[in-house]
Amino acid sequence: MAAHSAVEAAKGRDFAGVARSLFGNVRLDFENGDEEKSRLKSAMLGNCRLTRLGADVHTVFGDRVAFGSDSPDAIKLIIQTHGRSSLHQNGRNAAVGGEGAVIYDPMRPYVLTNRTPVRLLLLQLPRRALPSSAVARLAEPFVAPPGHAGMQRILLSLMDSTIREIDQLDETACASVGQTMVELVRTMIGGDYHHERASVHSLDLLRRRIKDFIADNIARPDLGAALIARRLGCSVRYVYRAFEAEGMTPGDHIWNLRLEAAASRLRETQRRPGDISEIAFGLGFSSSAHFSRAFRGRYSLSPSEWRKMAG
């Protein structure tokens, strides 16, 4: 049996460049970590890609990473075995770690913050491999529910053993293993949505309506639960209940979305005096000082420092 020939590996200073070639046009920031400690090993499994990587503290900035619906990195699944991280996308902050699976769509801008050294397994699969209804729901990260803990352990074991033995597997065996992983992911992401109770489904729909309203009115300084409830014809209590499943409040979502929008606009706008203040007021912040404190608290950089790094 011919061994798999398309295994890629990188470490140290080569890590960031290889990561961009495998994962899309991501930007890695090792300002508070040691890039020399980075390692990765990656291989194709049919139309999927499996990667094992370890790295020191760093942040990954992704802005429309995948551009084609058939790109092998169109959908990503992370199972992190060591370290603490968080994935910010579309106003949601999803914890990554503890060997739980997190699935997300990198065509939507995101920030992955690795607060500690990390080790993880990453599976990239074509979006056509998942039901269209499931892909449509990946506007924000999907965290596999506790009821699928056993399935997640099986997937983790399969991913780990495969990357360890990858040099001994031929392309046919790799494609077969990759398809098995896809089926596990399909079951994991599909089952949770199709068996929701009616009340949970109702709150889910309300939460989506609220998020749409927030996105359309993000510049309003008075944007909050009271305004949302009044405009959507529900009680303030239900506005809060709609976000309970995500472990946040409506206010958390509003400020997350404002900060993400600010970070994006700071990368895109031309430098000129006063434009940082214009961005702040245009996103509903009460003052430049308030904006700067909130921005630094989220990204560990001031707005001006962020802009310089983006440039």
Judging by DSSP bridges, how do beta strands 85-89 and 101-104 pair with one another?
A: unpaired
Instruction: Delineate the domains of the chain, giving CATH numbers in brackets.
Output: 8-194 (2.60.120.10), 198-310 (1.10.10.60)
The CA-based angle 133-148-69, given to 5 degrees, is 30
pLDDT on residue 5: 53
Specify the DSSP class assigned to residue 195: T
| Max intra-chain CA distance, the chain | 67
Taking only the tens place, the pLDDT of each residue in 164-186 is 999 999 988 999 999 999 988 98
Tens-level pLDDT at each residue, the chain (311 residues): 445 558 999 999 999 989 888 887 788 999 889 999 999 999 999 989 999 999 999 999 987 665 443 455 579 999 999 999 999 998 889 999 887 899 999 888 899 999 999 999 999 998 888 888 888 888 889 998 777 788 888 899 999 999 999 999 998 899 999 999 998 898 888 744 444 344 455 677 788 889 889 988 888 888 999 999 888 877 888 889 888 877 889 999 998 888 888 888 887 756 555 678 888 888 888 788 888 888 888 888 888 888 877 65
Which of 87, 5, 66, 45 has the alpha carbon at shortest distance from 183?
45
CA pair distance 112, 62, nearest whole angstrom? 8
Q: Distances in Å between the alpha carbon of 135 and those of 56, 132, 139, 205, 304?
A: 31, 5, 8, 16, 36
Find the helix packing angle between 225-232 and 250-268, rounded to 10°.
Answer: 100
pLDDT on residue 107: 85
pLDDT on residue 270: 60
Q: What residues pair up with 113 in beta bridges, in sequence order?
A: 59, 86
pLDDT on residue 8: 92
